[in-house]
Amino acid sequence: MTNHIKKLTLLAAAAVLTAAIPGTLQAGGKIEIDYKRSDFDNPTIIDNPLWPLTPGMTATYAAEGEECEVNTTYVAAPNNPSDPIAPFNVKSIEGLPGASLPVIVVYDVAWIDEECDGNLVLEEFTFDWHAQDNAGRAWYLGEETYDCEDGECEMGDGAWEAGVDGAIPGIIMLANPRSGDQYDQEFYEDFAEDKG
């Protein structure tokens, strides 16, 4: 969802990291992603310092250009019936090899303000699914996407789930990123093909 905002956030984090540690980062390269269920002992604890997803955390991002956009994310509290997005706060990925993988659900909502005058219109919302492996890499395992127009929302073309119809999970944030690292953040051919 609003992949350009996610990409800008990741680029900003990489720029801060690079600026904070000049001369200490080695050039990276293409990283092949190798999913193994056995690498995920506690997948719903996502404490990667560059991509922490603490249950209950909310973040809001705003961008201005030809139009204004506001994006809010909320990290669900799994198995908490009083969570604001219950019953959507629990999800397991079933289609990947090995046992099912419980994931953290992030509720992501985007509004557009065409005149940048405070008149926000709901554009889309998603339920994004993340997990962290034992090495500290934060993974992206799919999303349920809804496109909205005139107050009506319906499932969008960008919806995908790792292990279903050839969709492959990706890494949203490495544990120890280096300048020049390249990897898939998601891959569902023709629908979700972001790279980091």
Both tokens of residue 119?
């008149």
H-helix or E-strand spanning residue 146? strand 138-149
- What pLDDT shows up at residue 33? 77
pLDDT in tens, 43-72: 999 999 999 999 999 999 999 888 899 999
pLDDT in tens, 106-121: 999 999 998 888 889 9
Residue of 195 and 150 predicted with greater confidence:
150
Average the pLDDT over 89-107 and give the result.
93
Is residue 17 exposed (0-12), middle (13-18) or buried (19+ Cβ within 10 Å)? middle
- What pLDDT shows up at residue 191? 63
Q: What are phi and psi of 23, to 5 degrees?
A: 75, -5
What DSSP string runs through 93-132? E-SSSSS-EEEEEEEEEEEEETTSSS--EEEEEEEEEEEE
Of the pLDDT bands very low, low, confident and very high (cuts 50, 70, 90), residue 192 is low
Predicted TM-score (pTM) of this structure: 0.79
H-helix or E-strand spanning residue 92? strand 91-93
β-pairing, 138-149 vs 58-64, is: unpaired
Average the pLDDT over 143-157 and give the result.
90
CB 126 within 8 A of CB 142: no
Is residue 173 exposed (0-12), middle (13-18) or buried (19+ Cβ within 10 Å)? buried
Domain parsing of the chain, residue ranges: 3-187
Region of 95 on the Ramachandran plot (φ > 0 left; ψ -120 to 50 alpha; else beta): alpha
